Chain A
């Protein structure tokens, strides 16, 4: 496919394609779930976090699990687009646009939860250092404050990175738009991009530098999330392996989400020539590798408890494997460590349906893992007198489903109104492959 065809095809998806039945159905469902989320937030603001099942001793519940899960999903988008860009993996150019979009939307959803979990979300700005009348400052030793800076920086940088990549493609849509409204809309978003040599040079330089900044940033962000836990003195949380273990888990769930979005996207838009089986195959290999790192984390956790000999650590491991949440632990292992072994087979990695199933299992497994890590460390305290269970309420479920709805809504709007492939690199690749021919 040459550059002209690519451009016409991708801009045509935005400008000419009428939304299909699947899109309309998905949109209606996503919109109603988002409505549910909005209603739940209103109830939460009116009545407080008591509507959730959080209570002593399990004071962190679904909200924190959702937060960690969503921010982890976001991480893989930056990884695919920035780390694979820096290592010159040309195949990423079929994936990076929707992976970056996934990052931005997952972050938007993720950021809601810690704020809502504050109890009095309208005081969230207290996390920022500013000279106030009370003379108070944030507690800089707290991982929760580090988290605030990490997420804030991550949101801004990933939006800038996503938008910088979009500018030339928005200009391509602008140049092909026929109605006045679209010309103005895409014209404003494209900022008047002309594709002049000097502009390209600045663009390429900024893309490189932002990629170089984004890679350490994503690793630091998810490490901060892990430090929220490992700064606590609870068995199962207070562990030095947490930051790398969380980063691996984030990558794992995020790659699974990229697969889960890529497979339906390429089918709906007929992108099989660009987003080929070879791409899904490579994602499958990445998924398998990340899954093994996560599995190593599980094993190291158990090994360290017995090798260290601390009775509370050993008790925690045994509670996890045989206690009230054992079904969750074993489901996690089944999804995250066992199911992915199918990816050793090339036939599985090349099959869209099989990849979709494995990636959905991994996504479910990673959510269970996040929740299991939170609940099992909390529900059995040092003192048996303070033991207790977590019982999710209908509102917990509503927030989880609502967050899925909001993410789906944002993604559906994106695939409908924005170019889903990064034209710049695909054009260059097309030009180079034609030049190479005899």
Chain B
């Protein structure tokens, strides 16, 4: 049997925040929190930012837009120029609509892929699912998971520290 750490449920957002703060003050670093809706300012590294997502989307959007302009230029002006009433082969204004749409398309798809990668989805199984009341996180539960792979888990006796926070309930995650 593997011990993955201790899962605890708190009565509300404020209690969860307080719990995270106290564990961090004791030197723990590997803490994860689960909530039914996004929490704004969870203290510490649990709230890592997703700042790189807009950059990925910008990059993909530019790639899509410029790529689409290139495809249109190469096909209409280089590979197979057709004279339509004497209009220039490279009709830039007419190339804009498709390029805009492909910009948005590429940015959105890249954003979705970045979201899946960032959130580690799909992961259909996870050890926290072993705790029956984990499903409270998708209802109104504010949960904290102190991971057993925390460097000071053994030495500090993590399960006792979680119990000391006086959560609603707590359990060991065993697989």
A: residues with CB less than 8 A from B are: 2-4, 7-8, 129, 135-141, 143, 145-146, 149-150, 152-154, 156-157, 160-161, 164, 167-168, 171-172, 174-176, 187-188, 191-206, 209-210, 213, 216-217, 220-221, 224, 227, 423-425, 427-428, 431
Contact at A194–B126, with CB atoms within 8 Å? Answer: yes
**Which of the listed residues B33, B38, B84 has the most CB atoms from chain A within 10 Å of its own CB?**
B38
Closest to A5 in B: B140
Interface centre among B48, B105, B107 (most CB of A within 10 A): B105
In the complex, the answer to whether B119 meets A199 with C-beta atoms within 8 Å is yes
CA distance A150 to B32 in the complex (A): 41
Answer yes or no: B97 CB below 8 A from chain A CBs: yes
Contact partner of B111 (CB less than 8 A), chosen from A175, A206, A221, is A206
Q: How far is the CA of A428 from the CA of B35 in the complex (A)?
A: 10
Q: How far is the CA of A194 from the CA of B34 in the complex (A)?
A: 7
User: Which of A136, A138, A153 gathers the greatest number of chain B CB atoms within 10 Å?
Assistant: A153
Q: Which residue of B lies closest to A425 (CB)?
A: B37
For B98, list chain A residues within 8 Å (CB).
140, 145-146, 149
Asked if A202 and B119 sit within 8 Å, CB to CB, the answer is yes
**In the complex, what residues of A have CB within 8 A of residue B122's CB?**
191-192
Distance A263 CA – B106 CA, assembled complex (angstroms): 36
B63 to chain A: closest CB distance in Å?
Answer: 15
In the complex formed, the residue of A with least CB distance to B119 is A199
Evaluate contact between A193 and B121: CB separation under 8 angstroms. Answer: yes
The interface bits of chain B over 1-44 (1 if a CB of A lies within 8 angstroms of the residue's CB, else 0) are: 00000000000110000000000000000001111111100100
Q: Mark B141-158, 1 if CB is under 8 A from A, else 0.
A: 000000000000000000
**Given A4-B139, A196-B33: A224 and B97 interface contact (C-beta under 8 Å):** yes
Contacts A192-B125, A197-B47, A202-B119; A424 near B108 (Cβ below 8 A): no
Docked Cα-Cα span, A412 to B105, in Å, equals: 29
B164 interface hit (Cβ, 8 Å): no
A198 with B53, Cβ < 8 A, contacts A140-B91, A428-B37 known: no
Are B112's CB and A206's CB within 8 A?
Answer: yes
Separation of A36 and B118 alpha carbons in the complex (Å): 45
Known: A137-B79, A191-B121, A192-B124; 15 extra A-B contacts, CB below 8 A, are A129-B72, A137-B76, A139-B82, A140-B98, A150-B101, A160-B111, A193-B121, A194-B34, A194-B128, A195-B137, A197-B38, A201-B38, A205-B50, A206-B111, A227-B97
A7 in complex: contacting residue of B82, B124, B140, CB < 8 Å:
B140
- B residues less than 8 Å from A203 (CB atoms): 38, 115, 119
Contact indicator B124/A187 (Cβ below 8 Å): yes
Contact A200 B79 (CB under 8 A): no
Choose one: B49, B95, B100, B118; the contact of A140 (CB below 8 Å): B95
A183 CB to nearest chain B CB (Å): 11
Complex-state Cα separation, A4 to B138, whole angstroms? 9
Chain B: minimal CB distance from A217 (Å):
5
B34 touches A202 (CB 8 A): no
CA distance A136 to B82 in the complex (A): 10
Residues of chain A lying within 8 A (CB to CB) of residue B94: 140-141
The verdict on B75 contacting chain A, using a C-beta distance below 8 Å, is yes
Question: In the complex, what distance in Å separates the CA atom of A227 from the CA atom of B96?
Answer: 13
Contact A195-B119, Cβ < 8 Å, known A205-B53, A206-B112: no
Closest residue to A429 on the B side, CB-wise? Answer: B37
Docked-complex contact B111 and A209, CB < 8 angstroms: yes
Q: Chain A residues near B100 (CB, 8 Å)?
A: 220
- Nearest CB of chain B from residue A412's CB, rounded to whole Å: 26
Please tell me if B102 contacts chain A, counting CB pairs below 8 Å.
yes
Q: Which residues of A contact B125 (CB under 8 A)?
A: 192
Do residues A202 and B115 form an inter-chain contact, with CB atoms below 8 A? yes
Residue of B nearest to A423 (CB): B36
**Complex: how many Å from CA A112 to CA B100?**
23
- Give which listed residue, A136, A149, A156, A202, contacts B53 with CB less than 8 A: A202
Is B174 located at the chain interface by the 8 A CB criterion?
Answer: no
Rounded to whole Å, the gap between the CB of B32 and the closest CB of chain A is 6
Task: Please give, as numbers and ranges, the residues of chain A lying within 8 Å of B75 by CB-CB distance.
Answer: 129, 137-138, 140
Chain A residue contacts of B120, Cβ below 8 A: 199
Q: Which of B53, B54, B138, B139 has the most CB of A within 10 A?
A: B138
Q: Report yes or no: A164 in contact with B112, Cβ–Cβ below 8 A.
A: yes
> Would you call A153 and B101 a contact (CB within 8 A)?
yes
Cβ of B46: which chain A residues have Cβ within 8 Å of it? 197-198
Bound complex: CA A193 to CA B138 (Å): 9
In Å, the complex CA distance between A143 and B101 comes to 13
Across-interface contacts of A152 in B (CB, < 8 A): 101, 105
Interface centre among A2, A200, A227 (most CB of B within 10 A): A200
Closest 6 CB pairs of A and B: A175-B135, A137-B75, A191-B122, A3-B140, A200-B38, A153-B105
Q: Which of A7, A201, A202 contacts B139 (CB 8 A)?
A: A7
CB closest residue in chain B, given A135: B80
- Kindly state the separation between the CA atoms of A121 and B149 in the bound complex, as whole angstroms: 58
Q: Cβ of B50 and Cβ of A201 under 8 Å apart?
A: yes
Given contacts A194-B126, A201-B48, A209-B57, A140 and B32 within 8 Å (CB-CB): no
List the B side residues contacting A198 at CB < 8 Å: 32, 46-48, 118-119
Closest approach, in angstroms, between the C-beta of A288 and any C-beta of chain B?
Answer: 30
Q: How far is the CA of A226 from the CA of B38 in the complex (A)?
A: 40
Interface membership of chain B positions 53-71, coded 1 if the CB is closer than 8 angstroms to chain A and 0 otherwise: 1100100000000001001
Q: Cβ of B109 < 8 Å from any Cβ of A?
A: yes
B116 within 8 A of A: yes
> Could you say which of B36, B80, B107 contacts A213, with CB atoms under 8 Å apart?
B107
